[in-house]
Amino acid sequence: MKLFEPIQIRGMVLPNRIIYPAIQFNQGLRSARAKAYYAERGRGGAGAIIAGATSIDALGSEEPWKGAGGLEGFLQSLRPAVQEVKATGTRFGIQLWQGNLYPAGAGGKRAGVELVTVGERVAPSPGENGRALTIPEIQDIIHKFGAAAA
């Protein structure tokens, strides 16, 4: 069975083919709790872990673009968690997310801080009806995904 065999994907070797999918558990990516959570999944034998729902839009969330230090500060703040996961032999990635608002937004509370929701609900969205995106908005989202991936 190949499930437990290593696999190479464009020069990156995974120790097996078990992928821990992106699951949003509302602990962020940089907290001590998140770091411990992902490291434990690495020790459990996942070949790769995908952290969930990292916003592509600076207007919608403080992560990853708005925090102190901008993108570079965000990447540096992830380094301890990524290194701990990689020490288990597991690879680490993030799920890029646009959300259902344009510009993408986040709402509610996280770590006791009120997050402001921005943008308009776009279709298809759960709950309220959303409006259709325009072609320039779609192109903007495509650009933001590309920039976030880079």
For 7-60, the pLDDT digits (tens) are 999 999 999 999 999 987 777 777 888 889 999 999 999 999 998 877 776 433
Q: Which of 108, 110, 100 is nearest to 26 (CA)?
A: 110
- Top pLDDT among 93 and 117 is at 93
What is the C-alpha to C-alpha distance for residues 112 and 31, in angstroms, rounded to an integer? 14
Asked whether the beta carbons of 91 and 14 are under 8 A apart, the reply is: yes
Is 80 exceeded by the pLDDT of residue 67? Answer: no
Asked whether the beta carbons of 45 and 16 are under 8 A apart, the reply is: yes
Contacts for 135-138 with beta carbons within 8 Å, 24 or more apart?
Answer: 137/102
Is 60 exceeded by the pLDDT of residue 107? Answer: no
